[in-house]
Amino acid sequence: MDLKKKLILFTRLIRILVYIYVVVQFLISRSYYDQAEVLPVIIGMGVFYVAIDQIISHVPEKRFKFACLCLFPLEMLLISLLVYFTRSHPLVEFDFLYALPVVNVALWFGVKEGVSFGVMGGLIMACTLALSGRLVGLESVGAVMSRVGFYVLGGLLTGYMSEFADRESAEKARRVVELTALSGFATVFESTLNEYRVYDNLCDAVSRSINPDVVLVFRFDRDRNQLLAVASEGVKGSDAELSLPHDYGLIGKVLESRESMVIEDTNLEWGYRQFLETYRIRSALYSPLKWRDEIYGVVFAGNQLKDSFNRDDLNLLSALAMQAALAVHNSRLYADLEDRIGELHAIFEIDKAITSAIELDTVLQQIVQMSLALLGAKTSSIMLLDEESQELVIAASHGLSQEYLTKGNIKVGESIAGRVIQEGKPIAVYDIGSDPRHAYSEHARMEGLRSLLSVPLSLKDRVIGVLNLYTDEPHRFTPHEVNLFTSLASQAAIAIENARLFASLEEIYIEVITALASAIDARDAYTHGHSQRVTEYAVALAEEMGLSTAEIDVVRNASILHDVGKIGIKERILKKPGRLTEEERREMEYHPFIGTRILQSVKLLEPVMPLVYHHHEWYDGSGYPDGLRGEAIPLGARIISVADAFESMTSDRPYRKALPLEEAIAELRRGSGKQFDPQVVQAFIRLVEKGKVDVRWTDGRVIPLADHLDKAGMS
């Protein structure tokens, strides 16, 4: 039940009691009065009380005060008539009835109206007593004055109590509204993990809770040192995207002090008028978006009437701003967490990609590309240290012109990259063009490079180079970005070293197997250089047939080692000038098996073993050791088979002289489809026709190691 209904019930009860009192007094003293005068007044009072109760209960809110202020004087007039008609035998304490409308008015409308009606009631009572001849002597005047004082005091006390109750009720209702609003908006803020959505929600919350004419939410941009309008209500056009210096006007003052502020009259703040005149703002509220030690912006609320806001409004705005600041803090943490997860995933993918590559050029290019993707830049480069000259050389890059790449090497200790090598620590440069440490500032300006992050490629106790990242716009690299890029550089350094070690290992491996093949060939003067010549033919064939670089490498290595199993064959059989016996032939056919047994202990040679084992298989299935047929024979083994047969036919042997090229080709044609793969034979004939097969050979001819590296793509 609301306050109005409670007051109506209270006044109804009082009037019932008053009317009973009047009726009882009349019944007791009716013999003293002219009932024709008094009775109509008493009946009129009853009718009036019923009427006033109905009017007050049903009159519209906007006419309620007018109705009451008209009816209560009429009630005083009825009381005066009753007092006047009972003048011959005054009713006991009847003059106190004037207090009833006075108290009613004070209850309804407060101190001012209550005191006014108290004075009115006193004057009407005095006039009535004077007309009835009862105002005689000082004693009666004193009694009247005491009654008037009683009416005024009653109106004053009742009005004060009424206003106090109204204030308490209004305060309670306001607090309920505020708590409800705060609770509701807190739920909205907590459910939002998008920073800009938080600003929109704050703007909506302020508009709905304190009803301002204008609301602006400013976000503090630390990089630009500005306040940017990110949400608004009641503004138009460019003002909705307002940008202010961090120290501008009252907003800047609030940002600096981190304290909320209420301006009751903006005309008194001429030094801080700002944009207020555009919207005729006369009163304003400011509150910082602050959470703990962080400040994220300022919220502004303005009204076109002065004194529109009070401390309660400021407290509500501050509470909303604090909730919004917490939500912004959480949204940034969430965004940061998402970024970290993305970065960790990217680092994992980068690590997987660069550690799976074994060729140095591929590794370097992957590192450059992935560094760009990781930090969203456009230009990157890797510089490796030449330990002999102590210079940094650009080994891979993206986004740099040829002119920049050939500008010259950098000595250790020179420029930014040289300092990074020397100090072993990252260096971030905001403006390359104006930084005196950069040796090629003019080149950088021409290239459109603005900011630089250079980090060392470190391996435990040494630095092998630097990884550079450039931006085309000024950018202050954060500690997080520096740490992230340093982590990438650490992985890159390991990948580069692994690629170098693998290249070195492969080089040593090629040297070893070449030396091993040469040692086998050296056992027989007639076969000296056989493995090298077979290798040359086989590699040319593999290239002609379009095999990949990796497949060609396998063919090359298998060709060098195809006869390694002969190390286990007796020398008298290898050098026998005539035909081999059946037993000797079976022992000779055992050499592919011996070769694979020798190679199986070396993991790097696993791809080679099937080619070594099957290079004596025939295309029709009549070869050895397993009698494989057609496509079941590895392609590399079929290539080596043709190369091996051609080299044997075109070389001197103890049991015959070398065949001329034409006869050797004719033999290959005759064996096509039987001993040899027809496609391989056709490819070999194409090589001969192109002049790429040279059968002239000398004992001193060898294949240099550099040739092997060129063909492997490692030099």
pLDDT tens figures, 523-560: 654 455 788 889 999 999 999 999 998 899 899 989 98
Residue 517 lies in a domain: no
Residue 178 lies in a domain: no
Q: Are residues 265 and 386 part of one domain?
A: no
CATH of the domain at 320: 3.30.450.40
Q: How far apart are the first and last CA of the chain?
A: 95
Helix, strand or coil, per DSSP, at residue 480: helix
> Taking all residues of the chain, what is their mean pLDDT, rounded to a whole number?
80
Q: Are 464 and 455 in contact (CB under 8 A)?
A: no
* 406 vs 305, higher pLDDT: 305
* 445 vs 252, higher pLDDT: 252
* 181 vs 22, higher pLDDT: 22
The 10s digit of each residue's pLDDT in 595-653 is: 888 888 677 778 999 999 999 999 999 999 999 999 999 999 999 999 999 988 888 76
Q: Are 554 and 513 in contact (CB under 8 A)?
A: no
Query: Residue 513: pLDDT above 70?
Result: no
Range with the largest mean pLDDT of 213-227, 503-517, 696-710: 213-227
Number of structural domains the chain divides into: 4
Q: Are residues 373 and 331 part of one domain?
A: no
What six digits make up the tokens of 490?
A: 């650490």
Q: Are residues 428 and 311 part of one domain?
A: no
Which segment of 351-355, 377-381, 476-480, 692-696 scores lowest on mean pLDDT? 351-355
Residue 176 lies in a domain: no
Q: Which residues of 533-572 are buried (b: 16+ CB within 10 A; e: fewer)?
A: bbbbbbbbbbbbbebeeebbbbbbbbbbbbbbbbeebeee
Query: Residue 710: pLDDT above 50?
Result: no
pLDDT at 277 (0 to 100): 65
CATH of the domain at 593: 1.10.3210.10
Q: Are residues 135 and 75 part of one domain?
A: yes
Indicate if the alpha-carbon torsion angle 579, 580, 585, 587 is positive or negative: negative
Domain that holds residue 392: 357-495
458, 479, 495 - which closes a domain? 495
* 374 vs 194, higher pLDDT: 194
Residue 644 lies in a domain: yes
pTM of the model: 0.45
What six digits make up the tokens of 351?
A: 């690590």
* SS3 sequence of 99-121: HHHHHHHHHHHCHHHHHHHHHHH
What average pLDDT does range 316-327 have in this prediction? 86
Name the pLDDT band for 1 (thresholds 50, 70, 90): very low
Q: Which residues of 163-188 are buried (b: 16+ CB within 10 A; e: fewer)?
A: beeeeeeeeeeeeeebeebbeebbeb
Query: Residue 218: pLDDT above 90?
Result: yes
Which segment of 396-405, 412-421, 550-559, 606-615 scores lowest on mean pLDDT? 396-405
Residue 352 lies in a domain: no
Name the pLDDT band for 712 (thresholds 50, 70, 90): very low
Query: Residue 182: pLDDT above 70?
Result: no
Query: What is the number of other CB atoms lying within 10 angstroms of the CB of residue 257?
Result: 11
The 10s digit of each residue's pLDDT in 119-174 is: 888 888 888 878 877 766 666 677 778 877 887 887 788 878 877 777 777 666 66
Q: Are residues 574 and 477 part of one domain?
A: no
Write the CA distances from 484 to 286, 355, 479, integer angstroms: 39, 18, 9
Q: Are residues 420 and 275 part of one domain?
A: no
Q: Are residues 364 and 479 part of one domain?
A: yes
pLDDT at 270 (0 to 100): 60
Name the pLDDT band for 668 (thresholds 50, 70, 90): very high
Residue 348 lies in a domain: no
What six digits make up the tokens of 5?
A: 């209904």
Residue 349 lies in a domain: no
The 10s digit of each residue's pLDDT in 424-460 is: 889 988 888 788 888 777 778 788 888 888 888 888 7
Phi, psi at residue 160, to the nearest 5°? -65, -45
Contacts of range 609-614, beta carbons closer than 8 Å, 24 or more positions apart: 610/634, 610/636, 610/637, 611/554, 611/555, 611/558, 611/562, 611/636, 611/637, 611/640, 612/558, 612/561, 612/562, 612/564, 612/565, 613/637
Distance (Å, whole) CA 247 – CA 28? 84
Q: Are residues 206 and 150 part of one domain?
A: no
pLDDT at 700 (0 to 100): 33
* 713 vs 654, higher pLDDT: 654
What six digits make up the tokens of 294?
A: 């962080």
Query: Residue 701: pLDDT above 50?
Result: no
Residue 183 lies in a domain: no
pLDDT at 346 (0 to 100): 63
Query: Residue 183: pLDDT above 70?
Result: no
The 10s digit of each residue's pLDDT in 77-125 is: 888 888 888 877 776 666 777 777 888 788 778 888 888 888 888 888 8
Query: Residue 2: pLDDT above 60?
Result: no
pLDDT at 191 (0 to 100): 62
Q: Are residues 530 and 488 part of one domain?
A: no
Q: Are residues 366 and 278 part of one domain?
A: no
Residue found under tokens 């085309």: 472
Q: Are residues 570 and 463 part of one domain?
A: no
Q: Are residues 273 and 380 part of one domain?
A: no
